[in-house]
């Protein structure tokens, strides 16, 4: 698989001059750490140097953290990262669905683009497959590119 630099170049993604906020969870930290590393790599490869990273306990808290960051006016885009893994209860449906809805609501209400890097998977093996390191599939790296692309679109449209 192509590295983040190759992906950014192939898509002509230029993040230079952008300010990007990352908010990640501390739940499933080994997986989320790899997502954060992928995000940072994707941002760096695209030329983003102004990056702020905050953490929250879990995925349910991501929308509020994203809203607080977006409302500062300090960020051209955000990337949200977490891993919700199905368990034996219905907790998964509540957390995954409300997290996704909340993040979309923040993006639409603030017009700050958000790269969605929250894994919603059946098991740890799937989470690991989606958070591989450099050269592998890393949803955090992909979310960084999405955030940059949408930030550029927003700026191009005068938003």
Q: How confident is the model at residue 91 (pLDDT cuts 50, 70, 90)?
A: confident
Is position 73 within any domain?
yes
Average pLDDT over residues 70-80: 98
Is position 33 within any domain?
yes
Q: 3-state class of 154 per DSSP? A: helix
Q: What is the pLDDT of residues 29-52, one digit of tens each?
A: 999 999 999 999 999 999 999 999
How many Cα atoms sit within 13 Å of 55 on the Cβ side?
10
Domain containing 59: what range? 4-154
The pTM of the full predicted model, rounded to 2 decimals, is 0.91
Residue 11, domain CATH: 3.40.50.960
Is position 135 within any domain?
yes
Counting the structural domains of the chain, the total is 1
Q: What is the pLDDT of residues 114-145, one digit of tens each?
A: 999 999 999 999 999 999 966 789 999 999 99
List residues with catalytic annotation: 91
């Amino acid at each position: 698989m192509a590295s983040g630099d190759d992906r950014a170049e192939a898509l002509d993604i230029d993040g230079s001059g952008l300010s990007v906020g990352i908010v990640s969870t501390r739940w499933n930290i080994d997986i989320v750490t790899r997502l954060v590393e992928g995000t940072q790599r994707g941002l760096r490869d695209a030329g983003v140097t102004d990056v702020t990273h905050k953490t929250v306990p879990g995925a349910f808290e991501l929308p509020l953290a994203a809203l607080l960051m977006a409302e500062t006016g300090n960020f051209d885009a955000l990337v949200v990262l977490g891993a919700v893994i199905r368990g034996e209860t219905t907790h998964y449906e509540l957390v995954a669905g409300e997290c996704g809805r909340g993040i979309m609501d923040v993006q639409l209400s603030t017009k700050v683009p958000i790269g969605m890097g929250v894994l919603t998977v059946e098991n740890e093996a799937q989470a690991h497959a989606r958070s591989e390191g450099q050269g592998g599939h890393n949803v955090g790296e992909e979310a960084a590119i999405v955030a940059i692309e949408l930030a550029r679109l927003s700026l191009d449209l005068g938003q």
